[in-house]
Structure formats: C-alpha cells, structure tokens
Chains A and B, each alone.
Chain A
Amino acid sequence: MKRMLVLSALLGVMWCQNPSYEPDPGWRVPSEAAAKANPLAGKTALVGGGKKLFARNCVECHGEDGSGLEKKHSADLQLPAVQSQSDGALFWKITNGNPDRGMPSFSRLPELQRWQLVLYLRSLRTAPATLSESHDPPR
C-alpha cells in the first residue's frame, strides 16, 4: 500500500513536471557575468524572502516546486542542467530573461532581490519543504 502511494505521488509529480524541458543552447551567459559571486551567499535568513519572490514572480511558469510546467515549456529548475550553473549565471538569466523563448526579464526587481531569488533557487535541489520557516532580513 505504501509503495502504491509513493508510486502514485511520483507519477503525480512527473505528470506536473516538464520532462521534455531542454535548455536553450543560444541562451549563453557572458563569462564575466557567470563569474559574479552572490553577495548574499550563506545568508540563510534571506532565503525566506527569496521564496516569497519566487512565489510572486516564478511559480506561474515554473510551478510551486520549480520543476517546470509542460504547458508553459518552462525550465525544471531542479535539474542538474540548471543547478550546475553558477550563481552569477542564474542571476544573469533572471536579469535578462530570454524574451523570445517566453522567459521575461526581471531587471525591474532590485539587484539584491534577484540575488535572493538565486539563493532560493539553490534550495530547490534539496528539500523545498524545509524552507517553510522564515526569517525577516535585516533592512
């Protein structure tokens, strides 16, 4: 019974995910941008803010858990193809978007908020559920 439940949950997740996602080879990040370090790295108290920003700006296309939505052709942010990219590369992609492939630019968000998003994206490769505890950032 337990196995059946796990199997159904897995099938459910797979149904919602975007297994057909393939990264756009033309969406290249300049090397100096990819080399940028996240100024908020290690500040776990700020992940909660990143999660809120993710919910506001990204969930509609990438899904609650970031696994992507097939109907939106959006990236599965949990995939190694995404997670293996540097913080700087993710920041550049959030900033510039890929408008001809449906990913809008989020340059209207303040720079630190975009870094907060990168911070949260890093948590997607582990267990997003553990991030329900939130802390207010220093202003």
Chain B
Amino acid sequence: MRLGYLTAWLIIAMLGWLPALAQEAPYFVTYDHHLEEPGNLEIATSSTMGVPRSNQRFYFAPYAEFEYGVMGRWTSELYLEGQSTSGDSAVFTGWRWENRFRPLAREHFINPVLYVEYEGINEASRIQKEVVGNAPEFGEPNSELSQTHAHELETKLILSSNVHDWNIAENFIVEKNLSQNEGFEFGYALGFSRPLATLASSTNCRFCRENFIAGLELYGGLGSTQGFGLHDTAHYAAPVIAWQISDNASLRFSPAIGLTHESNPALLRFGYSYEVRGFGGKLAKLFGGKP
C-alpha cells in the first residue's frame, strides 16, 4: 500500500514538477529526419509487450535509450535491453549502438538520413525495435535463446518529409547477422503523424491538443537474400500517440496489431523520455573544459 502511494506520488511529481519541448515524434519503430539537438541528451525507457498466440507465452521487453546530439547533423544512441517471459525467466538481451547522419543541411521535400547500428544481442531479444527478415520463433526457453549471441550490423535509409504539419517517414532496412550465415535481411517501416493542434496557446497547459501528436506506423519484414518476399514474415499496423507532458518529457503509447499469422496478434508499446538540455556543456564544465 505504502509502495502504491510512493509510486503515485512519484508519477504526480514527475508530471507536475517539470515545467511542458519540442514535439517528439510519436513513433516507436519508424525514424524521421529530426535529430537530437547538439549537446542534448535524451534518456528514454520503453517497453514492448507481446500478446501471444495460443501456443506462445506473454513477454515483456523493456529497454533504455540514451540519445545524444553529437553534432548538428549527427546523433548517437545507446540501447540496453532485457526481456521477461511469463512462466520462464527474465534475461538481459544485449545492447545496441546506433548513429544517424543527415547528409543535407537544409530542409528539402524529402530529407534523407543515413543510419548505422551495431547490435550485440542474443536470440532472446524481443524489443522489436525493427522487424526484419522472416518472423522469429518464440517457442524456445530463454535459457537456450540467451546462449545464442548475435553480432548484427543494421543499416537504414530514412526518408522523411514534412507536408502541411504532417510528417511522413519511410525507412528501408538491411540487416546482416555477422555471427551466422543468414544472408542480408530486409524490412521496412512507414509512419505518418500530425499534432492535434498547430497553434500554441499562451498558457502552460498540460492537456492542450497542441501537446499531443497522433499517427500510424506500418512495419514488417521482407525476407532475406535467401528468400526475399512476404512469405513467413511479420507485419504490424500500429496507431501511435505521444503526449508532451512537460518541456522536457513525453509519454508515448502504441497498440500494434499483427497483420499476418506469423506476427504476434498484438504488441503494446509504452515509452517515457526525458531530455537533459545542454548535457554536453554541463559535462565539459564538470571536467573543467570549455562548455
């Protein structure tokens, strides 16, 4: 009971204490062309919950993200991820290091971003940050899956446009498992989103429509060089909504619906992110450098 009060107090404190930035994209899988501001650090915690089919088990896969704006056109991000399966165990499933580069300085009708990620994960990974190749098997226990390590290199071509307050983003994914001979795996993600209001009110309101962005994501695998196509692949349609609860913090939610028999029937995703502005400068100052 006391723990419940403490949790409620912490949530209220978190929502109320932080004064409401800039609108973050509501997507969980799709990337748009907006990078982290240089020197800012975004700390986020998200989770993917897989609703199982009759012969599968429910899983909960949380992950932490540390996104840093290295330069105006370069953002770097570290992920730490885990997974817990009902009736099985909880395991640490690895880490990822991603980098996004914007080759063009100005805004264009289509804005390309190049994405490179290295993954040191194991086969128990369930965060489904991207869906590539063929649908994964969920039958084996965590004790076995976590013993199979995968060093993967993932690249994405991100194309993103802002059209009349709509963001439209397309991601084309190529992934290579360096540990096994699986060929190159392919996937895609598409996203559309729009703020619910486009004018800012003068008051610091928390529940104004301007603080909400809604949209839709579509993502899935496209097989591999060993078998390209839609056969035996997972695909999802996912409404997304983001709430900018303060200048620095936002909440996101997305209930994804599996579109093929190989997909999970549903994926529920939650995310909370907090932005530390001027982190690089503060860190430099701490070590006696020039902010």
Contacts and interface: CB of A to CB of B under 8 A. Distances in A.
A76 B202 CA distance: 24
A136 B209 contact: no
Interface stretch (A14-22, A77-85, A104-112): A104-112
Given A105-B107, A107-B34, A46 B199 contact: yes
B2 interface: no
Contacts of B73: 99-100
A118 B203 CA distance: 18
B74 to A, nearest CB: 9
B38 interface: yes
Interface string B139-152: 00000000000000
A113 B165 CA distance: 10
Interface residues of B, number: 34
A56 to B, nearest CB: 5
Interface in B25-53: 25, 34, 37-38
Interface string B63-106: 00000000111000000000000000000000000000010011
Contacts of A103: 72
B227 interface: no
B178 interface: no
A123 interface: no
Contacts of A71: 291
Nearest to B278: A60
Nearest to B199: A137
B170 to A, nearest CB: 17
Contacts of B10: none
A23 interface: no
A66 interface: no
Contacts of B204: 52
Interface string B195-236: 101111111100001100000000000000000000000000
B277 interface: yes
Nearest to A55: B247
A48 interface: yes
B107 A99 contact: no
Contacts, number: 92
Contact of A99 (B105, B200, B202, B203): B105
A134 B37 contact: no
Interface residues of A, number: 38
A51 interface: yes
A112 B203 contact: no
A110 B107 contact: no
A71 B162 CA distance: 32
A103 B39 CA distance: 12
A110 B198 contact: yes
B21 A96 contact: no
Interface in A103-139: 103-113, 116, 134-139
A97 B73 CA distance: 11
B104 to A, nearest CB: 10
Given A104-B37, A107-B34, A107-B107, A139 B209 contact: yes
A104 B38 CA distance: 8
A97 B164 CA distance: 19
B177 interface: no
Contacts of B209: 139
A106 B198 CA distance: 14
A49 interface: yes
A-B pairs, top 3 by smallest CB distance, nearest first, are A48-B202, A99-B72, A134-B202
Interface of A: 46-53, 56-57, 60, 71, 95-113, 116, 134-139
Interface of B: 20-23, 25, 34, 37-38, 71-73, 102, 105-107, 162, 164-165, 167, 195, 197-204, 209-210, 247, 277-278, 291
